[in-house]
Amino acid sequence: MPKVTVSSALQEQSFELNDEDSLLVSSEKAMNKAIPVGCRGGGCGLCKIKILSGEYLSNRMSKAHITEREALQGYALACRIYPLSDLKIEIVETIDKRKKLTRSV
Partner 1 sequence: MKKGVMRPGHVQLRVLDLEEAVLHYRDLMGLIETHRDSQGRVYFKAWTEVDKFSVVLREADKPGMDFMAFKVLNNEVLDQLESDLIAYGCEVEQIAAGELDGCGRRVRFVAPSGHNFELFAEKEQTGKWGVSNVNPEAWPRNLKGMKATRFDHCLLYGPNVKECNALFRDVLGFDLAEQVIDPEGNLVGAFITVGMKAHDVAFIDSPEPNQFHHASFFLETWEDVLRAADLISMTDTSIDIGPTRHGLTHGKTIYFFDPSGNRNEVFCGGDYHYPDHEPVTWKAEDLGKAIFYHDRVLNERFLSVLT
Q: Interface with partner 1 by CB under 8 A: which residues?
A: 36-44, 46, 59-65, 79, 94, 97-98, 100-105
Count CB-CB contacts under 10 A for residue 79.
28
User: What's the closest the beta carbon of residue 53 comes to partner 1, in angstroms?
Assistant: 27
Closest CA to 76 of 62, 55, 94: 62
d(CA 61, CA 14): 24
Distance of closest approach, residue 77 Cβ to partner 1, in angstroms: 9
Closer CB to partner 1, residue 54 or residue 77?
A: 77
Residue (54 or 65) nearer to partner 1, CB:
65
Cα–Cα distance between 74 and 76 in angstroms, integer? Answer: 6
Single-letter residue type at 75: Y
Least distance in Å: CB of 44 to partner 1?
4
| Residue closer to partner 1 (CB basis): 8 or 63 | 63
